Amino acid sequence: MASSHGNSTHSESAKTEQIITEFFAKSLHIILECRSPLMSSRNFSGEQALSSPSSSSSSSSSVRPRDKWFNLALGECPAALENLDLWRQSNFEPVVVDVILVKRGLSRTQSLKESSNAYSSDHEEVLSGSEEKIIERWIVQYDTRKPREKGSTSRRTSSNVLHTLYKKSILLLRSLYATARLLPAYKIFRDLNCSGKLRPFTLTHRLLSFVEPFTRKEESEMQRFSFTPVDTSSGRLCLSVLYHSSVSDASSESSTPMSPQFIPDYVGSPLADPLKRFTSLPVSSPSSLPFSRRHSWSYDRYRASPPAYFSPSPTHSEPPAANALQFGPVNLPPQHPDSSSVHKTNNSYDEYYPSPNFTPSPSPSPPVYMHGNHLSNAALLRTESAPVCIPKLNLQPSLPMNDNNRPSRGSKLDMSTGLPNTGVSVEKLIVKDDSKKHYGTKISAVNSSQCSISRSSSRSFLDDFDDSDFPCHFDVEDDDPMYHGSRPESFDKKSHIGDQMDPQAGGTFPIKKSQDAAVGALVHMLKKAPPLRQELSTSTADSTHVSSIRAEHPLDSSHSVLVASKTTADALEELQGFKRMKDCLLSQGGGTCNVAAGIWK
Amino acid sequence: MNCEVCQLKELEVEHFEIREVLRCILHTIVFHRALGLVRPKVIDLELFDITYVQCGDGELEKKIDEKIEQFISWVEKHPNKKSQVCISFYEVKNKHPSWFTNKTERLYWEQWYINLNVSQQQKVHSGKSHPSKIVVDPGENSLEERSNRRAALESSLREVLFQIIKFVNEKKDHVPPISDGVVYFPYEITIPSSSDSAFGMDMIKRMLQTGHPTMLS
């Protein structure tokens, strides 16, 4: 416009143009730097200190030419640069940046890296099962239609005008920088950049030169923040953002599908009732609700995940949880005697793994196993859960002190999930052997389970089992009613079986694939457990384990820390250890508990 | 030159929250008044789920922290009072001001008032150095209260930050031109204690602290 008037004006307009161009570039850079997880991840990893000026102190790295623009030195942001080059050819067309929250499908959760790579480019529809939602829309535009000619403008020297323009652009970009980090979407970005955490969602972006209108509903859900435009001699620079004020909800929703996977396996919170979970899962999907909620909750707690957008939204998790449960029963058929044990293991695994005692659970890998399980995997699972649970769990039940323990019911010790686990795990191992001696160990575990179950029926039943002390934490749970209701069948069986160890029960389970069957299997396990326990107490190895476990109990409150400290590597190691143990057991057939204990050690 | 004034919304804070809240606000303000070359430093608050931006200047950070410490000790001596922290930006008229006199004229072009209402109820529980670890359970009710209160403060704090951003956006004309090599405009932070007997010393100190770096650079 002004270019036709003489040299000075020409150079002025050229400079103005340059400022505008750079303004676009910088805004894009600022936005993408804190919305595009891949690009800015370096800022958080600290690997590339040089290229991450934003996180380092001002004194550090050299100033690149681009940094000088608007006196704002930013990290590298390849995506912004690429996009910018395209934009430069478009003659000041508006830039619309849609920031999109992508919830991954369940199947994809494990391949985070793959998917994130895929996201780096703008448009790719990466996942069939994924769900996209625009959570922010930034609009940067240069509005030339109504240049505002202020009277004062003409009187100023061109350099003054440029200086003012530049200064105001700087101010605008400063506030853009701060605002981008105040908006809710930034939390998601930050969350994604926390290393070592698997997220069921990610952020991607899409750059357009026009606005794809939202539906009314969409628009009504969003809030707008408009930055005050900066006037230039020929137009004005406008910047605005539409954003969801409740993005955290969205991200938490997305997180739920994942949570069932993780949580059941790894995270057991001492607070959550193991029994409840058990029952709820197998019984019916509706009942799984509490289950999922707990899981997600425990997830937050124990994963030491950052503050959490992950707030557990229970509703969405149901389906996955149900799936996880079903898998257990399916596995059963292959191994008849063991099937019950397998089932048990799964349960125990889910429930107890997270317990404070088990520090080893932290790694995400276990969930993978669970899902991936085929028949062959079932064995793995078994072994896995067993070793983990056994050391800690066994100890308590086996202890001669059981009677003494009783008074402590409801105390923190009882709360520790570890105890029940041990019982279950032991069972698995022992079951194969079928030797009555081994049963003793089983019994202890069973006792705990029985206690919970029996308490509704009769206290006396509990009393019969010396081990009952343990179960206390089960008793504490309020959810029991559900438990009972859901598994009347199993309960009956239990009562029938009573003190007897019934290998037969295992046979029945495999046949039934229904949830009821699973419940039945669970009950069965519980029943079996009590007799075994005594044996364990006799074995010296076990007793030592117990003592160590006991020592750990006081730490319950700090269990989360312990859990966090475990790495995936640790978990793998353990798993392998279990495998070995399992093999050993299998080969030995009638092997004794002592051997197993030695291996575990 | 007219002096723009921004009164920030009053925040009800507990003693142990003062430090973070003030840091967050003061740095956010200064960041918007640091028009020289900066490498922004992004800080996540510990007590709140809020991220703010510093201009990545160690000196500045140190001075702000010092000022905050002074304010906190003032609060300890004057409990249960509403208090105000003011950060002002000015231009110095004299090109070569001498540091040890008050001769130089300061033209204030902007003042921000941070209004705090410090409640003392939780002071017993709060440790100075480890504010985030304070959460001992005083019972469920009070826990719930605390988290509610915390959430309320967090959203108020966020509001204040937006208030700053809006102000910065709306008022640009009064901001002095950028001088080369000056990262941030000269500023001073005033806390209630400046009316104490140490006033004179404080003035000199403040001059040294605030005027000095900007002018040198």
Where residue B42 sits, what CATH number does that domain have?
Answer: 3.30.900
The per-residue pLDDT for range B8-18, each reduced to its tens digit, is 999 999 888 89
Size of interface A-B (CB pairs under 8 A): 105
Report how many domains make up chain B: 1
Q: Could you report the per-residue pLDDT of A85-113, keeping only the tens digit for each?
A: 666 666 778 888 888 888 776 444 343 43
Residues A300 and A354 sit within 8 Å (Cβ to Cβ):
no
Nearest-by-Cβ selection for B172 from A54, A74, A168: A168
- Ramachandran region, residue B78 (left: φ > 0; alpha: ψ -120 to 50; beta: rest): beta
pLDDT number for residue A519: 75
Check pLDDT > 50 for residue A447.
no
Q: Lowest mean pLDDT: which of A369-373, A401-405, A429-433, B114-118? A: A369-373
CA–CA distance, A386 with A76 (Å, rounded to integer): 49
Note the pLDDT tens digit of each residue in A370-394: 333 333 333 333 333 333 333 333 3
Higher pLDDT, A386 or A155: A155
Q: Which of A175, A191, A230, A560 to mutate to test the interface with B (most CBs of B within 10 A)?
A: A175
Facing residue for B32 by CB, picked from A53, A67, A175? A175
Residue B158: domain span: 4-92+106-192
Looking at the predicted structure, is the pLDDT value of residue B30 above 90? yes
Q: Look up the CATH architecture of domain A11-245.
A: 2-Layer Sandwich (3.30)
Cα–Cα distance between A525 and A341 in angstroms, integer? 7
Q: Which of A204, A245, A240 is CA-nearest to residue A222?
A: A245
pLDDT in tens, B42-56: 999 999 989 999 988
Chain A residues in contact with B35 by the CB 8 A cut-off are 71, 167, 170-171, 174
Residues 6+ apart with CB under 8 A from A143: A229, A235, A236, A237, A238
Cβ distance of A73 and B39 shorter than 8 Å:
yes
Average pLDDT over every residue of A245-259? 51
* Region A419-427 average pLDDT: 38
Phi, psi of B114 (to 5 degrees): -100, 120
Query: Whose CA is closest to B9, among B161, B171, B154, B119?
Result: B161
Q: Establish if B151 touches chain A: CB-CB under 8 angstroms.
A: no
Q: For chain B, where are the E strands, in sequence order? A: 4-7, 11-14, 41-44, 51-54, 82-92, 106-119, 187-190
DSSP string covering B131-149, please? GGG------HHHHHHHHHH
Rounded Cα–Cα distance for residues B117 and B74 (Å): 13
Alpha-carbon span A29 to A32, nearest angstrom: 5
Instruction: Flag whether B216 is in a domain.
Output: no
Answer yes or no: is the ipTM higher than 0.85: no
Closest CA to A263 of A207, A225, A223, A301: A301
- The residues, ordered by sequence, that sit 6+ positions from B151 with a Cβ below 8 Å of its Cβ are none
Contacts of A444 (CB under 8 A, 6+ apart): A393, A394, A396, A397, A398, A422, A423, A426, A467, A470, A529, A530, A532, A533, A534, A536, A537
**Beta-sheet strands, E only, within A150-189:** none
CA distance A166 to chain B (A): 10
Residue of higher predicted confidence among A397 and B27 = B27
What is the DSSP track for A76-106?
Answer: --HHHHHHHHHHHTTSS--EEEEEEEEEPPG
Cβ–Cβ of B172/A171 closer than 8 Å?
Answer: yes
Say what the pLDDT of residue A172 is. 92
- Check if B55 contacts A (Cβ < 8 Å): yes
CB contact A174 to B (< 8 Å): yes
**pLDDT reading at B215 higher than 80:** no
The average confidence (pLDDT) of chain A is 55
Whether residue A224 lies within 8 A of chain B, CB to CB, comes out as: no
Among chain A residues, the shortest Cα distance to B49 is held by A307
Domain boundaries, given as residue ranges, for chain A: 11-245, 253-600
Q: Do A178 and B31 touch (CB under 8 A)?
A: yes
B161 touches A at CB < 8 Å: yes
A201-208/A95-103 β-pairing: antiparallel
Angstrom distances, CA of residue A371 to CA of A213, A328, A348, B159: 40, 10, 16, 45
> Where is average pLDDT lowest: A29-43, A63-77, A289-303, B57-71?
A289-303
pLDDT confidence tier of residue A83, bands split at 50, 70 and 90: low
Average pLDDT (A539-551) is 42
B192's tokens = 């209630």
**Does residue B154 form part of some domain?**
yes
Given CB atoms, is A62 within the 8 Å cutoff of chain B?
A: no
Q: Do A182 and B37 touch (CB under 8 A)?
A: no
